[in-house]
Structure 1
Amino acid sequence: MSAVRALRQFSAVSSRVSCARVAGLSARSRLASVARPVAVSRAFSASARTSGQGTTDGALSNKLSEELKYETQAVEAAPAVPEFLKKFKEQNVWEIEDLPLHDEVTLSRKFGNEKFVNTFRSLRLMFSIVDIRAEEEEDFEGEEAVAEEDEDHEHEALNVYPLRASLSITKDGITGALTVDMSCQEGQFMVDNVSFYRDGKLATELTAEADWKRRGLYMGPQFETLDIGLQEELEKFLQERGVNESVALFIPEYAEWKEQAEYVKWLDSVKEFVDA
C-alpha cells in the first residue's frame, strides 16, 4: 500500500472521529499510515455516472476512480525498479518468481548438489503478501507513536510484523526433501519447524491433493524444543544456503511493494467490472 493513500485516510479519520474508532482502522490503512508523510490534496467529484445497472454504481465508480488516480500517481512517481530490488538482483544469488495477480512469491537458487529437480531450482523459499493484510490491529497510541518516528526508523517501523515463509530443499538424484517453516521479522528468520519428506515431490507440490496427503504425516518437533546445539547447527545450515539477514530484510520490502502493485490492479479490475 502506498504511503499516500494511508496518510490521506489517517488524516481524515483523525480529524473526524474518536481514538476508539481510529483503533479500528484496517490493516491496510494502518500499515501505510506510518510511512512517508506526503502532503496531498484532492478534489472529489460526486457527479452521477451512467454506468452499471444500479443506483449506487455511479458513486462507487467515482470513488474507485478517485482511489485509482492517487494510487497510480504514487506508482508513477516511484522508480520502476526500486533501489532495494535492484541491489538484491545485483547479488545474483536468488531468482525471483513472481506471477501477477498471485499472492505468493518464490525465491529460488541452487547450492552444491542441491541444483535442479524437475526443472525447478532445488532451494525454493516461498512467502505470501497475505500476512500484510492479515496483520493484527494495534491501538491508536502505538500507531501515533510510530507515526512520529523520524525517517531513519521508517524501515524498522514498517517491518515489525512477521511474514511467514517456507523453504524446501531437494538434491539431485535424491528422492527426499527437507522443508523449513519459518517467519521473517525485523531482519531475522525464526524457524518454527523442520520436516523431512521421503517423497520430495509431495514436499514441493502445491496441489490440493498433495496438501491433503501432507496432513497425515509426522512433521517433526517444534524447533524451539530441539537441543540448543542442534538448533544452532540447523541455523548455520540455512545461513550457508543464503537464508540470512539480507533475505529476511528483503522479503517484507518486496511484499509491501508487490501488495501496492496488486492493489492498483485490483482497483482497476473492480472499476472496469462496475462500469460494465
Structure 2
Amino acid sequence: MLSLRAFTRSVPRFSRSVARTSLRPAVLPKPAFVQPWKQATKPAYAAFSTSSVFREPAGEGDAELIAKLEEELKHEKASGVEDAREQQASIDYTLQNGEWQAKDVEGEQEVVLTKKFGNETVRVTFTVADINNLSEDPMDELHDDALGDEGEFQNHQNKAENEDEILPPTFPARVNVTVEKPDNGALLIQAVIQDGDLQIEEISHFANADVANAHTAEKDWARQSLYAGPPAENLDPELLAFWGRYLEERGLNLEFQNMVTDYIAFKEQKEYVRWLNNVRKFVAA
C-alpha cells in the first residue's frame, strides 16, 4: 500500500498525464460515438498503477539503513527487559514513598519531580542528557584502578566478601532543586549526584519564584544578572553540612539520589528506542 507521502507525490504526475492525454481526442479525427475520456483514462491509469517507482527509496543506501535501524530496534527491545522492569519498580516505589509527583513527557529530555513539604513546594529537575557525560565504561575505570595496585585490588576483593556487590561508578547527574514559600520567593540549589553522593555547588535566593525556575529565556537572563551567592565550596564545611541535612529532610536522601540516576538511564533507554522507531519510519516513508 502506498504511503501518504508517496501518494501525495504521485498526484501532480497523474494530473499532468491526464492533461496531456486529454488533448489528443481534440486533434485526432474520431467518430462521434467514440468517447474521448476512455483514451485519456487508459494511459493515466497505467502510469499510476506502476507504484513500484514510488516505493523505491530516495537514496541507494536507504534500504540498508532501514534494515540496520530495524536490527538495532529489535536488539534494544529484546535486551535489558528484566533490568528495565526492576528499574521501573524501584523508581515507582521511591516516588510513591517520598510522595513525589513526576512530570515525564514522552519525547522531552527533562523530568520534573514535585512535592509538598509543610508550606513549601519542592521541585527537582534533571535531564537525560547528563548520561552522555559518561564517556567511558565505568567498569573499565574500576578495573584499571584495581589492577594498577595489586594491594588495592586485594582490598576490593576483601570488601566484596563483606558486601553483596560492588556498585560501579555512575555518571554525574545534575539536579536543580527549588524550594518555594508563599510570598517569600524561592531558593535555587544546584547540585550534582554521583556515586551515592550529593554535592552542592550553589545556593541562591530569588524574591521571585518564577526567576528561580526560569522556564523562559527572559527569566533565565534575568536570573543570570542577579547575585547567586558564593560557590558552595567557599562556605564553611559545617554550614554546608547543614544544607545537606536541609535537602535530606525534604526527601533528597540516598534512596532518592540513587533513584535519579536510575531514572535517567531508564528514560534515556526509552527515548532511544522511540527515536530509533521514529527515524526508521521517516526513512521508510
Identify whether the pair has TM-score above 0.5, normalized to the shorter chain. yes
Q: Which residue of 2 aligns with 1:95?
A: 101
Larger radius of gyration: 2
Post-superposition shift, 1:201?
A: 1.4
Post-superposition shift, 1:89?
A: 3.5
Q: How does 1:99-118 map to 2 (within 5 A)?
A: 99-114=105-120
Which structure has the highest helix share of the two? 2
Q: How does 1:192-207 map to 2 (within 5 A)?
A: 192-207=201-216
Secondary structure at 2:177 match in 1: strand
Q: Which residue of 2 aligns with 1:165?
A: 175
| Distance change in 2, residues 1:237/1:95 (3 Å) | same
What does the per-residue CA deviation read over 1:97-151, in whole Å, with 9 as the maximum and x for residues that have no partner? 111111111111111111xxxxxxx2101111111123233699537659x9999
Amino acid at match of 2:99: V
What does the per-residue CA deviation read over 1:225-276, in whole Å, with 9 as the maximum and x for residues that have no partner? 1122221222221111111111111100111111110000000001011111
| Distance change in 2, residues 1:243/1:81 (3 Å) | closer
Amino acid at match of 1:194: I
Is the CA contact (8 Å cut-off) linking 1:188 and 1:244 kept in structure 2?
Answer: no
Is the CA contact (8 Å cut-off) linking 1:123 and 1:170 kept in structure 2?
Answer: yes
Inter-partner Cα distance in structure 2 for 1:134 and 1:72: 24
Query: What percentage of aligned pairs have identical amino acids?
Result: 32
Q: How does 1:69-84 map to 2 (within 5 A)?
A: 69-74=74-79, 78-79=84-85, 82-84=88-90
Post-superposition shift, 1:191?
A: 0.2
Secondary structure at 1:110 match in 2: strand
Q: Which residue of 2 aligns with 1:249?
A: 258
**What's the TM-score, normalizing by structure 2?**
0.68
Inter-partner Cα distance in structure 2 for 1:103 and 1:222: 27
Inter-partner Cα distance in structure 2 for 1:152 and 1:189: 23
Q: How does 1:123-162 map to 2 (within 5 A)?
A: 123-137=122-136, 142=141, 152-153=164-165, 156-157=167-168, 159-162=169-172
**What's the TM-score, normalizing by structure 1?**
0.71
Gaps spanning 5+ residues in structure 1: where? Answer: 1-49, 115-121
Is the CA contact (8 Å cut-off) linking 1:51 and 1:274 kept in structure 2?
Answer: no
2:226 to 217, 221, 244: 217
Amino acid at match of 1:64: L
Inter-partner Cα distance in structure 2 for 1:79 and 1:138: 23
Aligned length: 216
What does the per-residue CA deviation read over 1:159-196, in whole Å, with 9 as the maximum and x for residues that have no partner? 52211000001012x14110000011111211000001
Q: Which residue of 2 aligns with 1:53?
A: 58
Secondary structure at 2:229 match in 1: coil
Secondary structure at 2:277 match in 1: helix
Which of the pair has the greater relative contact order for Cα pairs under 8 Å at 6+ separation?
A: 1
Secondary structure at 1:61 match in 2: helix
Q: Which moves more between the two structures, 235-244 or 133-142? A: 133-142
Is the CA contact (8 Å cut-off) linking 1:51 and 1:275 kept in structure 2?
Answer: no
Is the CA contact (8 Å cut-off) linking 2:214 and 2:223 kept in structure 1?
Answer: no
Secondary structure at 1:271 match in 2: helix
Inter-partner Cα distance in structure 2 for 1:109 and 1:206: 19
Post-superposition shift, 1:82?
A: 2.7
**Structure 1 position 258 matched with structure 2 position 267:** yes
| Distance change in 2, residues 1:80/1:240 (3 Å) | closer
**Structure 1 position 185 matched with structure 2 position 194:** yes
Inter-partner Cα distance in structure 1 for 2:236 and 2:176: 22
Gaps spanning 5+ residues in structure 2: where? Answer: 1-54, 148-155
